[in-house]
A and B are shown apart, each in its own frame.
Chain A
Amino acid sequence: MQSRIIKNLRKDFLIEFRNRSALNISFAFAGITTLSVSLACGGASLSSQVNAVLLWVIIFFSGMSGLSHIFIREEEEKTALFLSLCSDPENIYLSKLLFNIILFACITALVTPLYLFFMQVVPVYILYFISTVAAGSLAVSSITTILGAMVAKAESRGSLFTVISFPVMIPVLWISIKLTADSIEGGAPPEVRSILFLLAFSGVIISVSYLVFKFIWTEN
């Protein structure tokens, strides 16, 4: 099982680095928006809430363009059948999930320091801030992986992704923004429970996705 996941993962990274479509779009979006926001603010100090909202808007949209792409590309290039013949559905799901988690971690690792640097924001609770960004990113990656698979098998791809991601993304982004604002602002000691909620949310999404993926992936 492990070797098959590694083979799938290696193949996806090889294709991604040769195409660089998702990476280029994500990194370009991240760089341009961070720089634009910082120039538009002109050194003005924003409240912790506004900083948290802006940071998550940039992280979210930088990642979204790339994350759903991983399954849709298999369908568009008609390689999904080949992939199904080489791996069982569970291995396909786990390798795509890992790919999305790594890709999103790279995007977040680029966007977050850039944002903090250009906006001159120093979080009061730095560990809490890092944990929030990491847990929020994991939740976003786990949601977009399974939604990407569902959309790839559906006809009206682009619009469907937006519609079905809306209700599941809202609680994740809402909590992530609140926690990020708390960690930037300082004051009351941070709530570890909320970070645990984000991790538990990802755990539930990943477990359910693992169980149902076979039914999504196999044609009816």
Chain B
Amino acid sequence: MHNKYSLNVNKISKRFGRQLLFRDISFSLVTGDSFFITGPNGSGKSTMLQIVAGLQKSTSGDVSFFMDEKKIPEDERFRHFGFASPAMNPYDTLTAVENIMFASSGIKKENIDEMLNLFGLYPHREKHVGIYSSGMKQRLRIILSMINSPGILLLDEPSSNLDSEGKDIVFSAIEKLREKTLVIIATNEHDEMKLCHKGIDIAEQNY
């Protein structure tokens, strides 16, 4: 049986110096929800996602995660979610398998091979990630975000740099996970928004 997660984002605002990026963003989600965050370039989609993940501090407001109605302490959050973003680089000097082993918590080798196969990286598993193309790196980022079967999946532009085959693989993987996972996608791509049940335009704050 899967754990039931819920997320409350309560009046989050973010300022960089004097510049206000966004103000009073609130939403609540539970396992099975898939949610998009959209908005023009520089509107703070990626920042919003990083605040939800606890990787950045908000200027005001708070984010709380619950697992089976029990609050998850802030410093334990990272154990419950998977995160992929173009700003997140795997280690170039390590191979794909070594990067996955580093990110995984007790995953069997067969499962790693299965994921690499699914995303078309199995033949390149022993190559250093530094020689990967940007599309291959993006596939690896998605694998890294999903490898621990997280309860919450946070994806920043998941199909960026991907070819049409890569997009199909990523979209079908997200669709498979949607039922038992809470998914948030920061995007401007219409195809990625269509994967979600609901969403928010961060610039207009329409919910």
Contacts and interface: CB of A to CB of B under 8 A. Distances in A.
Contact of A81 (B57, B88, B92, B94): B88
A88 B78 contact: yes
B104 to A, nearest CB: 9
A209 to B, nearest CB: 17
B138 interface: no
Contacts of B94: 11, 14-15
Interface in A60-83: 77-79, 81-82
A84 B88 CA distance: 10
A218 B56 contact: yes
Nearest to B92: A77
A11 B88 contact: no
A46 B75 CA distance: 55
B55 interface: yes
Q: What interface size band does chain B fall in?
A: 20 to 34
B78 A81 contact: no
Nearest to B56: A219
A79 B91 contact: yes
B75 A88 contact: yes
B50 interface: yes
B55 A82 contact: no
Contacts of A82: 88-91, 103, 144
Given A88-B75, A88-B78, A219 B55 contact: yes
Interface in B104-123: none
A220 B144 CA distance: 25
B79 to A, nearest CB: 9
Contact of A219 (B50, B75, B92): B50
A18 interface: yes
Interface of A: 7, 11, 14-15, 18-19, 77-79, 81-82, 84-89, 214, 218-220
Interface of B: 50, 53-57, 75-76, 78, 83, 85, 87-94, 98, 102-103, 144
Given A81-B87, A82-B91, 19 more contacts: A7-B102, A11-B98, A11-B102, A15-B91, A15-B94, A18-B93, A77-B92, A79-B90, A81-B85, A81-B88, A81-B89, A82-B103, A84-B78, A85-B53, A89-B75, A214-B75, A218-B55, A219-B50, A220-B56
11 contacts: A11-B98, A18-B93, A77-B89, A81-B55, A81-B89, A82-B89, A82-B144, A86-B78, A86-B103, A219-B50, A219-B56
